């Protein structure tokens, strides 16, 4: 059993801390945000993540998991400190704001009185871990701090499984610290999970490369989807035609309204900025951002062309993907904003979990509705833009009864086309000609 202090209770910090307690370690999760810690102490989880609630309650009850605002109280009991604070994009030039990381480093220097391993799970530009190591080495500390880079690849909505059973765990560290990391991850190792040990800077770059590559795959299939629509090719057969080549693979080939979320856009911008600083070729990487923006514009244009002038539009979905309440850089919001800027339409929308956070961005410019059918009231089109299970089961007849004109545009290819056509809908899906 290791004693672990996790600093930062965002997605990565909270899920990692809770999962480490689940495998038997003793974990204290620390955050400066008093309100957040106080809710966690009361058993209230600040993020939506299936399975996390139960896991928190279980491990708190077993006294393996606790929450605190005070690093000084716990730091010298710990075997490892995990840094999992946010690394947002700076507003100006896409560079990464490392203030949270460095203020944690200062705090550790102020309170630490023992040799320790400091694991950086926050996504940081290549070279940051080495800089942090230098900072510790040149500080007044009497004991050595060993920096380890251990990036996370958690997907929202799937984070517990991604932590417990990842395709691989990336560890950047000196050979001397590998055994301690093996002991920390003994449960993973015993279950045969693959570990890749490398140096600090490679581990940091792996994180950016993985997210950028996945985003490129999504941007690519969206462009191919757009080509398919124009020539009456079929995206579904196309996906299996290319995905069955094992060099390409099926995953991340679902066309949609573009990628969003808190990681892909931020990490790509950060990699662009970093590559520019070191004068490295980045034409392909840069084009991913443009391609994604073009996709959002294209979907908005398609809605406008489909529906014609004026009227009420119904949007089903506000979050950037299903099974999350997160609307950060959501393409659904991007499309809605683009359409609102035309000043031609009124918009009604519904999302199972994203309404509250969407309201913070869209304010009163749209009408928030209680369910699918309420959102479709008097609408000239329903746009299915997030792939929630609920939207796969829409009752076509009931929808038609509430709408003004029976048009449906499925931007995720999840509806049963036949059913809607039989009910008299004009159906448009992505990646195939209008059906």
Q: Does residue 317 touch ligand UDX according to CB under 6 A? A: no
Tell the residue number behind the tokens 């309201």, with chain if given.
359
With binding defined as CB under 6 A, does residue 155 bind ligand UDX? yes
263 catalytic? Reply is: yes
- Residue 264 sits in the site that holds ligand UDX (CB under 6 A): yes
φ, ψ (nearest 5 deg) of residue 271: -65, -40
Beta carbon nearer to ligand UDX, 94 or 331: 331
d(C-alpha 312, C-alpha 21), whole Å: 50
Among 10, 260, 352, 354, binds ligand UDX (CB under 6 A): 260
Near ligand UDX by CB under 6 A, which window of 33-41, 57-65, 68-76, 255-263? 255-263
Name which of 16 and 211 has its Cβ closer to ligand UDX. Answer: 211
By the rule CB under 6 A, 320 interacts with ligand UDX: yes
Looking at the Cβ atoms of 37 and 120, the one nearer to ligand UDX is 120
Nearer to ligand UDX, 29 or 214 (CB): 214
x/- track of binding to ligand UDX for residues 104-143 (CB under 6 A): ----------------------------------------
Give the whole-angstrom CA distance, residue 372 versus residue 417: 18
Count, residues in the chain: 435
Q: Is 261 in the site for ligand UDX (CB under 6 A)?
A: yes
What are the two backbone dihedrals, phi and then psi, of residue 265, each rounded to the nearest 5 degrees? -60, -40
- Residue 110 CB neighbour total at 10 angstroms: 13
Question: Of residues 20, 208, 259, 420, which one binds ligand UDX by CB under 6 A?
Answer: 259
The structure tokens 């196309």 sit at 238
Smallest distance from ligand UDX to CB 151, Å: 8
CA distances from residue 58 to 6, 19, 154, 185 in whole angstroms, order as listed? 18, 11, 21, 20
> Judged by CB, which is closer to ligand UDX: 274, or 320?
320
* Euclidean distance between CA atoms 242 and 214, whole angstroms: 16
Size of residue set near ligand UDX by CB under 6 A: 18
Q: Residue 286 burial by CB count (10 A; 0-12/13-18/19+): exposed, middle or buried?
A: middle
Binding mask 192-221 for ligand UDX (x = CB under 6 A): -------------------x--x---x---
Catalytic hit among 19, 129, 263, 369 = 263
Query: Between 99-111 and 128-137, two packed helices, what is the crossing angle to 10 degrees?
Result: 30
Q: Which is nearer to ligand UDX, 260 or 352 (CB)?
A: 260
Asked if 321 is part of the footprint of ligand UDX (rule: CB under 6 A), the reply reads yes
252 contributes a contact to ligand UDX by CB under 6 A: yes
Which is nearer to ligand UDX, 65 or 268 (by Cβ)? Answer: 268
Stretch that binds ligand UDX, among 25-33, 253-261, 272-280, 374-382 (CB under 6 A): 253-261
**CB 96 to ligand UDX: min, Å:** 15
Cβ nearer to ligand UDX, comparing 112 with 160: 160
What are phi and psi for residue 321, nearest 5 degrees?
A: -160, 175
Phi and psi at 236, nearest 5°, equal: -70, -50
By CB under 6 A, residue 253 contacts ligand UDX: yes
DSSP 318-347: -SSSSS----TT-HHHHHHHHHHTTT-EEE
Please identify which residue in 31, 49, 80, 254 interacts with ligand UDX, judged by CB under 6 A.
254
100-108, 260-268, 376-384, 419-427 -> range binding ligand UDX (CB under 6 A) = 260-268
For 114, 257, 304, 339, 376, the CA distances from 311, given in Å and listed in that order, are 67, 22, 10, 12, 12
What is the crossing angle of helices 128-137 and 200-231, to 10°?
Answer: 160
d(CA 165, CA 160): 8
| Separation of alpha carbons 433 and 137, rounded Å | 62
Residues 24-63 that bind ligand UDX (CB under 6 A): none
Read off the tokens for 23.
């495998």
- C-alpha R_g of the chain: 24
Binding site for ligand UDX (CB under 6 A): 153-156, 211, 214, 218, 252-254, 256, 259-261, 263-264, 320-321
State the catalytic residues: 263
């Amino acid at each position: 059993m290791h004693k672990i202090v996790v600093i930062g209770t965002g997605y990565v910090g909270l899920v990692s801390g809770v999962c480490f307690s689940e495998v038997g370690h003793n974990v204290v999760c620390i955050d400066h945000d008093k309100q957040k810690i106080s809710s966690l102490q009361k058993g209230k989880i600040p993020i939506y993540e299936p399975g996390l609630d139960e896991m928190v309650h279980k491990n708190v009850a077993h006294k393996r998991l606790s929450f605190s605002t005070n690093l000084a109280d716990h730091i010298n009991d710990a075997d490892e400190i995990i840094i999992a604070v946010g690394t947002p994009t700076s507003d100006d030039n896409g560079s990464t704001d490392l203030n949270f990381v460095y203020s944690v480093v200062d705090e550790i220097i102020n309170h630490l009185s023992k040799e320790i391993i400091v694991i950086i799970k926050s996504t940081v530009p290549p070279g940051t871990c080495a800089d942090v190591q230098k900072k510790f080495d040149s500080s007044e500390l009497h004991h050595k701090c060993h920096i380890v880079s251990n990036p996370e690849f958690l997907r929202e909505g799937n984070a517990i499984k991604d932590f417990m059973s990842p395709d691989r765990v990336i560890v950047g560290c000196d050979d001397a610290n590998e055994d301690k990391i093996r002991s920390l991850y003994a449960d993973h190792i015993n279950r045969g999970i693959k570990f890749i040990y490398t140096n600090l800077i490679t581990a940091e770059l792996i994180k950016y490369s993985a997210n950028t590559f996945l985003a490129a795959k999504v941007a690519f299939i969206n462009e191919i989807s757009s080509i398919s629509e124009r020539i009456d090719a079929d995206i579904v057969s196309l996906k299996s035609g290319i995905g069955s080549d094992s060099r390409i693979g099926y995953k991340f080939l679902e066309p949609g309204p573009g990628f969003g979320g808190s990681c892909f856009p931020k990490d790509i911008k950060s990699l662009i900025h970093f590559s520019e600083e070191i004068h490295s070729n980045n034409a392909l990487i840069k084009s991913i951002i443009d391609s994604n923006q073009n996709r959002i514009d294209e979907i908005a244009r398609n809605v406008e062309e489909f529906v014609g002038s004026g009227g009420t539009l119904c949007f089903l979905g506000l979050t950037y993907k299903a099974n999350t309440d997160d609307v950060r850089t959501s393409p659904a919001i991007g499309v809605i904003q683009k359409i609102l800027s035309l000043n031609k339409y009124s918009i009604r929308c519904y999302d199972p979990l994203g309404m509250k956070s969407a309201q913070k961005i869209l304010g009163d410019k749209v009408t928030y509705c209680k369910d699918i059918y309420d959102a479709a009231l008097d609408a000239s089109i329903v746009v299915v833009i997030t792939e929630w299970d609920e939207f796969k089961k829409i009752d076509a007849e009931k929808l038609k009864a509430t709408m003004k004109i029976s048009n449906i545009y499925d931007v995720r290819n999840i509806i049963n086309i036949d059913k809607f056509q039989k009910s008299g809908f004009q159906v448009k899906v992505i990646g195939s000609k209008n059906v």
